[in-house]
Structure 1
Amino acid sequence: MTDTHAHLDFLEPEELEEAQRHLGELRAVLTLGVDPSRWEKTLNLAQGNVYAAVGLHPTSAHLLSPEVMEALRHYAQKERVRAIGETGLDYYWTPETKAAQLKALDFQAALAEELDLPLVLHVRSRDGKAEEDLAGWLLLHRPKRVVLHAFSGHPALEEAGLKVGAYFSFAGPLTYKKNEALREAAKRLPEERLLVETDTPFLPPEPHRGRRNRPHHVRFTLEKLAEVRGLSFAEAEALTDWNAAACFRWLDPGGTNP
């Protein structure tokens, strides 16, 4: 199993200890540092089968400055870094910083292309406007490797993602009873574009809903993905492991670098 999106630096010490005890169940984990205060800790956690991404979350986009740009470029070139992000658009928490979010997104997209790294995108709004805006941004900028983190099933974002060859990463909400439309999206998307994640410690899957998440809980999202795709668990595991290795360029399921 591969957890393509976690925030290990958000875990309390005892939670992190538990998560690390279960790392042997996973082929790889990508842990993401989302603002300058977290990049160093994120890199320190990226050991063994844990890799890192560094970026400026859209809710922290107001922190962008020449100094932060320089620091992000510095951290992004570290050996264990496999992606830039998460970046994107968030009108749910900070709609007033839209201009700053777009500026931060553009910078991180350019950095990802410069360093040949995938770009991990976050999007959230109350009315779908951020999703529509991000879909438009994707079609305009067409990043070479991009991941739609915690994909929600928004139609415009699905259409744009398919056109640019994005990866669609499914988190705990895939398991929620009310999300039949999301499961239909997971069923119809191209198999080579599917990823699974936890967003640890957020978005826990059933049966852990209401509690804080851990990377090894990705099993429950993967089980649901296998179910909706008509695959065995082993088939879905091999598929998503391979896709993650192709996207993030760590060891592939056969143990060699793709």
Structure 2
Amino acid sequence: MAYTPLSLLVLLSLSTLLLLLSPQTQAQSPSAPAPAPSGPINITAILEKPGGFSDFIHLLNVTQAGNQIDNQVNNSNDGMTVFAPTDNAFDNLPAGTLNKLTMEQQVLLVQYHVLPKFYSLTDLLTVSNPVQTQANGPNGKNFGLNFTGQGNQLNVSTGVVETQIYNAVRSNRPLAVYQVDKVLLPLEFYESLAPSSSPPPPPENAPASGPSGTKTTAAKPSSTNDSGRMNVGVDLVAGLLLFCIGYLS
């Protein structure tokens, strides 16, 4: 088949045009987007998103417990579980409760709301109580939590405080964050915050204390009345003797 110069020119032009358009077409073809890299977990950022956890976030910051949670959850295969009290939960505490806690006790309070393992709500229904928390007392005793419930209802108890676990703020591994409507105060805190009892009264026979704190002894009964009676009797006898002597004389 013979080609004319014009037809050859047209073919060359079409070929060149196809070659020019081919990379453009490939570049414009849709492709699956690459998954965005997930950043490190930040517990305060997680709680700030829904709102209503300002008091707990404040405790996480002042005690540095938030940084400890972030470091552990981002570098552990076990994950973690956090129970976050709402602002209303803190408002319902007796006045001055947090002010009575030392900094060490505030750290323990936050750690008491953290389990050193990831638990789903289903997992918590079947755990063996008490469940270990991050909080350990001065004597090495762990402050544990107890979980009970069935179906969709799950309760957590400290021994003195019990509340229902509500919606999950986050439920994906390696970190679970669950909302609670009461601050989980351990039994040991109630014992330390209880007002000291008044000292027992002294025994009945115990010596009383004077104003300066020195012991005083009870005053002995006076013998004035007895001696008075004795003097009257002596005078009466002497008078009778004198009367008899006078009469006989």
TM-score range, shorter chain: under 0.3
Larger Rg: 2
Greater relative contact order structure (CA < 8 Å, 6+ sep): 1
Using the size of structure 1 for normalisation, the TM-score is 0.24
Using the size of structure 2 for normalisation, the TM-score is 0.25
